[in-house]
């Protein structure tokens, strides 16, 4: 091989070696402090009652294996996985999932740490439930079964009771028809000491109804004249349904232009009436029939104004003169 060819070959080899070094990602080597921390953690002394976090690395028909990052792996027996009777070890837990569990025994007799997820869930869940009670957090739950006086469901793995009176705004006749239904609820009682968790779907419905009503009311305007149906008569007036789920108060003083002792003298329940919206305040609608009568009287009298004009172009009777004699 000539000297020139040998030099070229050496240059190519050197260039190839440089490129190879540039493409190779240097291995990250932990520092001594990091290595010591990892080592200390893996041999950290654990005791019964400790709540540990780990990653699911194995699932069988009877148990789950968890990598805790310690000197030994954790084992959770099937009966210690969940309080929910509908729990399935093959569908409700997955490999790679991070879970929390409490230590039941440092050694199960086979060199593993014996754990319980359901007991850890109980402790953590009650803390979470207390916060959600305070914040009025809305949850969607599935009804598991009907029992005396209500239904049973589960929230964060904790058995919860929904009284029949708290299922819905509407009257609940047959509790069995609610089984397997999904219901939006809030927590109304959370007592870890008594293991008592009570939920309400009724309160969620009421809150939605209030928001819906306020939204509709915000679109109303004072002065609108509309038809409505008298829903209920009370000593001080009547409640009139003006449509779209909205009801306003027709005060006894606003039923007609004269003084009456009872609303029944003029109106009856179920009767259709024409009312004017006179006020909207704090979610309450005030109505008046008297204002409608006065308005109709103005129009009627205005139609009777003579159209004869003097030569000077002025009307002999003006609308302003008529208004002076009308009591609103």
Q: Which residue positions in the chain have pLDDT lower than 70? A: 1-44, 296-328
Placement of tokens 């469901």 in the chain: 153
Which tokens sit at 83?
A: 């309080």
- Give the pairing type, strands 63-67 and 150-155: unpaired
Contact of 221 with 277, CB cutoff 8 Å = yes
Describe the chain by its helix, strand, coil percentages, rounded to 5: 30, 30, 35
The CA distance from 252 to 241, in Å, is: 16
pLDDT tens for each residue of 120-159: 988 889 999 999 999 999 999 999 999 999 999 999 889 9
Determine the pLDDT at residue 308: 41
The CA distance from 158 to 72, in Å, is: 30
Domains, the chain, ordered by start: 49-121 (2.40.50.140), 136-207 (2.40.50.140), 220-295 (2.40.50.140)
Q: Can you list the positions of beta strands (E) in 89-173?
A: 98-105, 113-116, 139-142, 145-147, 150-155, 158-163
Contact of 248 with 275, CB cutoff 8 Å = yes
**DSSP code of residue 279:** E
**Taking the model in full, what pTM does it have?**
0.56
pLDDT tens for each residue of 76-128: 999 999 977 888 999 999 999 999 999 999 988 889 999 999 999 888 899 99
């Amino acid at each position: 091989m000539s000297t020139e060819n040998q030099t070229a070959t050496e240059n190519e080899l050197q260039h190839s070696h440089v490129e190879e070094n540039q493409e190779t990602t240097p291995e990250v080597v932990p520092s001594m402090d990091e290595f010591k921390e990892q080592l200390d953690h893996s041999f950290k002394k654990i005791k019964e009652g400790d709540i540990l976090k780990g990653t699911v690395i194995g699932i069988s028909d009877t148990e789950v294996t968890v990598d805790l990052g310690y000197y030994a792996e954790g084992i959770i027996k099937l009966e210690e996985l969940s309080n929910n009777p509908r729990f399935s070890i093959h569908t409700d837990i997955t490999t790679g999932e991070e879970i929390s569990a409490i230590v039941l025994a440092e050694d199960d007799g086979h060199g593993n740490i014996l754990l319980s997820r359901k007991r850890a869930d109980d402790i953590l869940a009650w803390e979470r439930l207390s916060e959600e009670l305070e914040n009025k957090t809305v949850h969607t739950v599935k009804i598991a079964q009907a029992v005396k006086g209500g239904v049973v469901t589960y929230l964060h793995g904790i058995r919860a009771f929904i009284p029949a009176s708290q299922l819905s705004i509407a009257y609940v006749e047959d509790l069995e028809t609610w089984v397997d239904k999904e219901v939006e609820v809030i927590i109304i009682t959370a007592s870890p000491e008594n293991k008592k968790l009570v939920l309400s779907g009724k309160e969620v419905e009421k809150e939605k109804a209030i928001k819906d009503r306020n939204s509709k009311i915000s679109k109303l305007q004072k002065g609108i004249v509309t038809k409505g149906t008298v829903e209920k008569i009370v000593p001080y007036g009547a409640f009139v349904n003006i449509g779209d789920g909205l009801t306003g108060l027709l005060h006894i003083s606003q039923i007609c232009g004269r003084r009456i002792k009872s609303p029944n003298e003029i109106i009856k329940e179920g009767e259709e009436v024409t009312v004017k919206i006179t006020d909207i305040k704090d979610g309450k609608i005030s109505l008046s029939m008297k204002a409608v009568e006065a308005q109709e009287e103005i129009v009627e009298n205005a139609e009777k104004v003579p159209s004869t004009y003097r030569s000077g172009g002025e009307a002999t009777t003006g609308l302003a003169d008529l208004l002076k004699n009308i009591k609103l």
